[in-house]
Amino acid sequence: MNKFLTLIKWLLKAAIFFTLFAFALNNQQDTTVHFFFGNQWRAPQVLVVLSAFALGVAVGVLGMVPWWWRHRRITQTQTQTHSTATSLEVQVPVTAGAQTTPLQPPYVDGI
């Protein structure tokens, strides 16, 4: 079964590759991209499409970097807090006649 899944994966990768290769062969015409102030760029159409895709990926990654840094900082802070909190014991004074309830962490949704 495992060899069958590996074969299916390779066939899917080959199909994607040949589809993109055929796209590149069909779009070899020169294309002119007009910028501001009369600037132009003449290149094969497939190169223009590839450049636009790469630029979009770069903008997306750069847009996610602050979120990744914030998430990493929060995770590191929680890890450090958790490691110090487990070594400390919480002592609660017990008054006479009062019912004691075990301390429970706040409800976390998990999202």
pLDDT tens readout for residues 76-103: 888 777 655 555 555 556 565 555 566 6
pLDDT tens readout for residues 4-40: 888 999 999 999 999 988 888 887 888 888 889 989 9
Distance separating alpha carbons of residues 87 and 81, to the nearest angstrom: 10
- Locate 96 and state its tokens: 């006479």
pTM reported for the whole predicted model: 0.50
Distance separating alpha carbons of residues 44 and 33, to the nearest angstrom: 10
pLDDT of residue 73: 87
